[in-house]
Structures are given as C-alpha cells and as structure tokens.
Amino acid sequence: GQDHKRRFAALDNSYHGETLGALSVCGSPQWREPFGPLLHGALYLPAPAYGDHEHADLDPCGPRPELGADSPEADRAVALLEEHHDELSALIVEPLIQCAGRMTMPGVGYYRRLAAACRRLDIHLIADEIAVGFGRTGRLIASSWAGLAPDLLCLSKGLSGGVLPLAATLIRAGFEDDFHGPPSHSFAHSHTFTGNPITCAAALASLEVFAREQTFAALPERIAKMSALRRALAERHPQIVESRQAGMVAALTVDRSHGPDDGRLSLALREAALARGVLLRPLLDTIYWMPALNIDDAALERMAAVTGEIIDEVLPR
C-alpha cells in the first residue's frame, strides 16, 4: 500500500540471475553493465569479506556470530538504508555466501544488522537461497543461522536435487492477499512451466531421499571433514592467501601474482583438475568446493589432493 516505495537495494558483489529484473539487483558490474540501459536502478550496499573463518561449524552460528556487525561496511550499509528508506521496497541478499562473487562471506553479524534495519525502516527483506538453501550451509535454510526471518525466500537448486529445473518463492503470512486482490492490483505470477508435474514429482522424490538418508543429520561430520582438509591444504601451500568455509562450501583464494592473468588462471586450474578427473570451476583466483551433500570421505580426500596438485602445477612455488 505504499506506492512510492518502488526501488530495491542489493549488496555489492552480489548475483541473483540473468533476467532483467534479477540483473537489476546484481551488485557485480560484470553481470550488470552489458545490459545497463535496460535495467532498473538499484541501491547497492557495501559488504565486508572475511577469510580464515567458518560460519557453520557445529555451533549454530559458528565461533564468531558477531562477525561483520561492527564493520565499516555494515555502518555504511545501514546509513544508506536509513537515507533511502522512503523509496525502498525491499533489500535482497544471499545469506552467508555471495557465491558467484568469489564465494565471499560477509559474516553472520552483518546480515543480522541489515535485517534489524529493514524491520525498523519498513523495508521488506528477500533472501535469495537459490544456491545456499537446502542444507548447503549445514541447515535447511541458510537464513536461520542469522535469524533473518525474511519476508520472501527463494529456493531452487537443492529443491529437486538438480535433476530438473524447479524454483519456489516462500512468502510470509499476509503477502498472499496480493495474489487474490482485484485484477488491477493483484500480483499476476504466471509462467508457462509453473507447477510442472514431472518436475514437482522429482522434487518430492528428492525430499524423500533427504529424509530416508538423514542427509542433514550427517552434515556436521562432513563439514568438519571438509574443514580439516581445507585447513591442512592452506597450511601446506603458501600460494593460498585466504581460506574460508560456510557449511558445505569452502573457498581457497590463491596468490595470482606469479600465475596467468585472471581469465587464463581460472581456465588453467580447471583444465588441470579435469585432467585428473575432478570437476572444479574456479572463480578468477578462487578455487571452491561445493560438493554433493552426500559425498563420502574418499571423494572429499581426492578433491583436496587434486586441488593441491593443480595449485602446484599452475602456480609453482
């Protein structure tokens, strides 16, 4: 009912997709700039990036739940929300991990502070959990680590186990009125393949597998194993300048000063891994692990060993 609040806010370095609406809230210029004249102008908020820490150990919010709350970036982000709140309809964030943004991790405390500001300033909060939802961070919903309670929650990849394309948007109570109002005011959310029965059947089967195999219950042990491998790798390889992890996502940033330039560095690392039978997709100078949630120890160890080998091959000491 506040027609003047039509602008969106997003985080620097964020990625939300490649349709025009999604691109309008992508904080990374490399995705946004080619389509600039076609996009709506969003407000971009600064976000910190931290390495050598974990958000999702066995402790519900990791060893440092306050991380990012008192950062200069959080101060500036809140100030921008306060300055522009009269025009802002919503803030969209990727909880815990900016995946396409080199797997940066702004810190649980940072997200908590933004969520509190949104509640205080009457700005809706949208959690884009396309990549981080369904156990990827160690919990079903990544937002729960920071207690975000978003107004809208976007899910996809883990929903169908990656077998068929499917996405869902969860809305808090009260939003459903917008789907059933007068035709001139209602939210006409219709797509050609909405409610595809085969895709929905695949998603139901995937959820059954989660329950039957107790996937989430086994995650703490796998997260700890991956963390140990990551830390050991960082200790053995001086080329690794930053190491970070949130749940079943780990990232290793390498010193690129003695290797190929950005584009060729990621390609060289990827090809070296493929030659060893491991599929990795480095993001510029960052090698990341985002394995299947049911990966076994042997596969994790193989992935870590190959990562060390390709670092030494492409970036010799």
Tens of pLDDT, residues 15-41 = 999 899 999 999 988 888 888 888 888
Nearest to 252 by CA among 220, 296, 283, 293: 283
- 305 within some domain: yes
| Residue 258 CB contacts under 8 Å (≥ 6 apart), including other chains | 239, 315, 316
- 146 within some domain: yes
Average pLDDT over residues 88-92: 97
What pLDDT shows up at residue 185?
A: 63
Together in a domain, 25 and 148: yes
| Residue 200 CB contacts under 8 Å (≥ 6 apart), including other chains | 166
Placement of tokens 């996809």 in the chain: 156
Average pLDDT over residues 278-304: 96
Domain boundary among 155, 178, 195: 155
Together in a domain, 110 and 238: no
H or E element that contains 9: strand 7-11
Per the structure, the complete domain to which residue 303 belongs is given by 215-314
Specify the higher pLDDT residue, 124 or 1. Answer: 124
Average pLDDT over residues 249-270: 87
Q: Are 150 and 144 in contact (CB under 8 A)?
A: no
- 303 within some domain: yes
CATH assignment of the domain containing 303: 3.90.1150.10
Give per-residue pLDDT as tens, 37-49: 888 889 999 998 8
What pLDDT shows up at residue 309?
A: 98
Average pLDDT over residues 139-155: 93
Question: How many Å from the N-terminal Cα to the C-terminal Cα in the chain?
Answer: 61
- 134 within some domain: yes
Q: Is the pLDDT of residue 118 over 70?
A: yes
Together in a domain, 140 and 259: no
Average pLDDT over residues 43-66: 63
What pLDDT shows up at residue 173?
A: 86
- 283 within some domain: yes
Q: How confident is the model at residue 175 (pLDDT cuts 50, 70, 90)?
A: confident
- 246 within some domain: yes
Together in a domain, 308 and 225: yes
Average pLDDT over residues 157-176: 88
Domain count, the chain: 2
In angstroms, what CA-CA distances link 109 with 55, 61, 138?
A: 10, 10, 18
Domain boundary among 130, 155, 180: 155
Q: Is the pLDDT of residue 89 over 50?
A: yes
- 177 within some domain: no
Together in a domain, 135 and 259: no
CATH assignment of the domain containing 32: 3.40.640.10
Together in a domain, 118 and 233: no
Q: Is the pLDDT of residue 190 over 90?
A: no
Together in a domain, 225 and 87: no
Average pLDDT over residues 262-267: 84
Together in a domain, 223 and 303: yes
Together in a domain, 129 and 58: yes
Give per-residue pLDDT as tens, 107-117: 899 999 999 99
H or E element that contains 113: helix 108-121
Average pLDDT over residues 98-126: 94
Would you list the DSSP string of 244-310? EEETTEEEEEE-GGGS--HHHHHHHHHHHHHTTT-----BTTEEEE---TT--HHHHHHHHHHHHHH
Crossing angle, helix 108-121 and helix 72-84, to 10 degrees?
20
Count Cα neighbours of 216 within 13 Å in the Cβ-side half-sphere: 15
- CA atoms of 147 and 118, how far apart (whole Å): 13
Together in a domain, 29 and 141: yes
Together in a domain, 12 and 149: yes
What pLDDT shows up at residue 304?
A: 98
- 198 within some domain: no
Domain boundary among 129, 155, 181: 155
Q: How confident is the model at residue 65 (pLDDT cuts 50, 70, 90)?
A: low
